[in-house]
Amino acid sequence: MSIETGQKSTATVRDSASLWSGTGLAVIIALCVTVSAFAIDGAREVPAGAALPANPIAEQRPAPAGELLGRALDANVAEVESFLDWGGRADYDGAGRLVLDAHGITGRMLETVLAADLARSMAVDPDLVAEAIAAAERDAVPENGIARGTASSDLITVICTESHDGMTLAFEDRSV
């Protein structure tokens, strides 16, 4: 308060209003973040010391599939997670094949590298992946824009399907 006029200084009123609005905004943001954390679908509490699955897609694998693909995934967990983080998709289909799917130049490059790493983990020549991709590019059908190629070894078959900007690589375990 000013002694001469009996009114508050305008600088003090503005500073106080800024402080209160900033504090209010911070409280609202904190509340929104907290509510959002509880609203995330699938969020669940994990007890301390609980074992988390090492393989992000291991629970999806159907029982009839051989162990060859599962062991390859377990050996390449970091690469699989990186591939998924970049927007790739990895699933098992109904026939027990491991299917990798990606779009764009970066996604396809990461998919090809991951597929070669998986092949190495299965003691298969990683060039098998390159052969399947080359077969798809060689046998492309221009009318529908879909290209499909396969390459096989004694242990696995790699199936490559290319369409538009995407590529799918499927691994079929032949050891079962």
User: Quick check: 165 and 104 in contact, CB under 8 A?
Assistant: yes
Q: What pLDDT score was predicted for residue 68?
A: 86
d(CA 70, CA 60): 11
Q: What pLDDT score was predicted for residue 127?
A: 93
For 126, list phi and psi in degrees, rounded to 5: -65, -15
Q: Which residues, 6 or more positions from 136, have their beta carbon under 8 angstroms from its beta carbon?
A: 147, 148, 149, 160, 161, 162
Residue 1 in this model has a pLDDT that exceeds 50: no
Q: Are strands 156-163 and 98-103 parallel, antiparallel or unpaired?
A: unpaired
pLDDT tens readout for residues 36-52: 655 554 445 555 555 55
Mean predicted confidence (pLDDT) in 76-102: 90
Residue 79 in this model has a pLDDT that exceeds 50: yes
Domain ranges of the chain: 1-44, 58-173
In degrees, to the nearest 5, what angle opens at C-alpha 49 toward C-alphas 48 and 50?
95
Q: What pLDDT score was predicted for residue 55?
A: 52
Mean pLDDT, rounded, of the chain = 76
Residue 21 in this model has a pLDDT that exceeds 90: no
Q: Token digits for 79? A: 């690469």
CA dihedral 157, 163, 167, 168 (to 10 degrees): -40
pLDDT > 70 fraction of the chain, expressed in percent and rounded: 64
Going by C-alpha positions, the residue among 128, 124, 121 that lies closest to residue 71 is 121
Mean predicted confidence (pLDDT) in 136-143: 78
d(CA 166, CA 89): 11
d(CA 55, CA 77): 6
Residue 131 in this model has a pLDDT that exceeds 90: yes
For the chain, the residue count is 176
Mean predicted confidence (pLDDT) in 92-98: 86
Residue 31 in this model has a pLDDT that exceeds 60: yes
Q: What pLDDT score was predicted for residue 155?
A: 87
Q: Is the pLDDT higher at 113 or at 27?
A: 113
Q: What pLDDT score was predicted for residue 80?
A: 92
Q: Token digits for 112? A: 């090809």
d(CA 154, CA 124): 9
Q: What pLDDT score was predicted for residue 67?
A: 81
Weakest-pLDDT range from 34-43, 85-94, 162-171: 34-43
DSSP 97: -
